[in-house]
Amino acid sequence: MESKRSQKGTENVLVDLGFEDAEELTAKASLAVKLNELVERRGLSQTEVAAITGMTQPKVSQVRRYKLQNISLERLMQALVSLDQRVEIIVRPARRAHGAGITVAA
């Protein structure tokens, strides 16, 4: 019987899958989740979101579908601000257990 070696994963599945930009993608996804929650809660159409945020409707569609490769973190943050949200960036020394990195709490 073959033994399977188990590898301990990280807290980030994108890191475990080997994505080079895993931290950035995770941050974008967190912001997109918050933006999409706001859109749903307010019952906004993609056209209305585009008008409010200054994004094009196709970009709004990408965010709605979590296709975030061509959308910057800055653009997502600006869109949230346009929807009356406060976005905070906190910089502090990394602890050894967690190491350096990017975390978004939305």
Tens of pLDDT, residues 38-68: 999 999 999 999 999 999 999 999 999 999 9
Distance (Å, whole) CA 54 – CA 82: 8
**Into how many domains does the chain fold?**
1
For position 54, which CATH number holds? 1.10.260.40
Label residue 19 by pLDDT band (50, 70, 90).
low
Chain segment 69-102, per-residue pLDDT in tens: 899 999 999 999 999 999 988 888 877 666 666 6
The domain of 33 spans 23-82
pLDDT score at 89: 85
Q: What is the pTM of this model?
A: 0.75
Cα–Cα–Cα angle for 6, 20, 72, rounded to 5 degrees: 135
